[in-house]
Amino acid sequence: MKILFISYDFPYPPAGGSISRDYNLIKQLSKSNEMYWINRTIRGKVKEEYKHEMKKYFKEMKIFEMDFGHNALAFLESMIKKEPYILKRFSSEEMKSAVKEITDRIPFDLILCDHIYLAQLIPDEVTGRIPVIPNNEDCGFTYYKRMSEKSGWLRRFYAGMEWKSMLKYEVGILKKYNVYITTSEKEKQLLTEHYKKANVFVLDNGVDTDYFFPNGSDKNSSPSLVFTAWFGYHPNADAAVYFVNKIFPLIKREVPDVKFYIVGKEPPEKVTNLENTEGVIVTGYVDDVRKYISSADVTVIPLRMGGGTRIKILESMAMKVPVVSTVIGAEGLNVEDSKNIMIADNEMEFAGKVIELIKDKEKAGIIAENGKKLIDEKYDWKILGRKMNEFLTEFVKNGVHEREN
């Protein structure tokens, strides 16, 4: 098939989260399809060697190098119109024109719109003649709803308005295209509660097991914990601060020499300031997270908000590092507490399970082995790539779904 892939953020290097999902989807789909790409960055310029890497997978690609900045006027306009502010941040007449130009020129079998915020870039005349599938990493409205419940007053105020307008927008997307790809059965359930007619296909997040694998690296000389994430994403920054302030002190009482590594790009000041706490190391961006994961005794996922499924958990499991997570942190994954992961939802319980894994090497080994087995059976991108390609092929074969007027 000829597939046009529309996405945001540059997916190489695939340093976790949604860009890892994008990179691996592209990599797998390019094995069986002729791929074309329109992408916008959120951090401006991209290194030429990164573009060169992505050319392996596309017959043609167009990159719009943009920053993801705030706009006070657009924010006020979205408040007045009760529209999601984030749509304004992704609006681009240049990209919309590029979509029209390439779809007029090439007879695509399918448009895969990676993230619903970019659906606004597809002209209605294109939607009417080429099948369009929105592919979303999570339900946007649940992200903002949870933020409205567990943030400071200013963020609560913003998120309280945004989640309601996002819900209206997402339901509108479901009605327009009658098809949707999301990352978990939980996300599917949330969507179908609001619109039951759409064909919602679940494609779990996965992990590249050729890249993330047990490498036999020596552990750190002192016990260590790791949390890998993009800390420009508020739920991850909130989780790091929460863990250091509320859980880490409880662990240090039992394991005084324990270290906690916060690894990932764009940590805000409230995260970098955590280095003032003894035993906390904030690395910022690193080229290769694997050495931090493999040298840790435990990966911690102390999330209190957010949506989708957690690639950071899958990466640690693939490397046979045991994971302790909150319920929300592991939401959407087919995991089982005390078998292939440890789940805890209060501070004392979370600290206790981390301490147990540090001290009980046999149990930690069992959890790690079972986690790796789960990855090999269900979350390897090779398996997921075939599943995705089968769904897309069948969707196109059956024709464009009927849409509501």
Same domain, 76 and 138: yes
- Could you give the 3-state DSSP secondary structure of residue 111? strand
Same domain, 348 and 329: yes
Same domain, 153 and 297: no
Tally Cβ neighbours within 10 Å of residue 10. 23
Which residue spans within 204-279 are E strands per DSSP? 224-228, 259-263
Same domain, 372 and 385: no
- The conformational region for residue 399 under phi > 0 = left, psi -120 to 50 = alpha, else beta, is left
Give the predicted TM-score (pTM) of the model.
0.80
CA 23-27-30 angle, 5° bins = 135
Q: Is residue 217 part of a domain?
A: no
Same domain, 14 and 29: yes
Same domain, 45 and 144: yes
Total structural domains within the chain: 2
Amino acid, single-letter form, for residue 378? K
Q: Is residue 402 part of a domain?
A: no
One pLDDT digit (tens) per residue for the chain, 405 residues: 999 999 988 998 886 667 888 999 999 999 999 999 999 887 788 999 999 999 999 999 999 988 766 666 666 766 666 776 777 778 889 999 999 999 999 999 999 998 888 888 998 888 878 999 888 766 566 666 666 566 665 666 666 667 677 778 888 888 888 888 888 887 788 778 877 887 889 898 899 999 899 987 667 778 999 999 989 888 899 999 999 999 999 999 999 999 999 999 889 999 999 999 999 999 998 888 999 999 999 999 999 986 555 789 999 999 999 999 999 999 888 999 999 999 998 999 999 999 999 999 999 999 999 999 999 999 999 999 999 999 999 999 886 444 443
Q: Is residue 405 part of a domain?
A: no
Q: Is residue 293 part of a domain?
A: yes
Which residue spans within 152-233 are E strands per DSSP? 179-182, 199-202, 224-228
Same domain, 323 and 388: no
Same domain, 354 and 288: yes
Q: Is residue 296 part of a domain?
A: yes
Domain ranges, residue 335:
224-379
Same domain, 146 and 156: yes
Distance of alpha carbon 249 from alpha carbon 296, whole angstroms = 18
Same domain, 180 and 236: no
Same domain, 115 and 179: yes
Any idea what the CATH number is for the domain that residue 300 is in? Answer: 3.40.50.2000
In 329-367, which positions are buried (b, 16+ CB within 10 angstroms) versus exposed (e)? Answer: bbbbbebeeeebbbbbeebeebbbbbbbbbeeeeebeeb
Same domain, 251 and 124: no
Angle between helix 140-149 and helix 153-177 axes, rounded to 10 deg: 160
Q: Is residue 264 part of a domain?
A: yes
CA 199-200-206 angle, 5° bins = 145
Q: Is residue 404 part of a domain?
A: no
What is the residue whose two structure tokens read 């307008």?
165
Q: Is residue 33 part of a domain?
A: yes
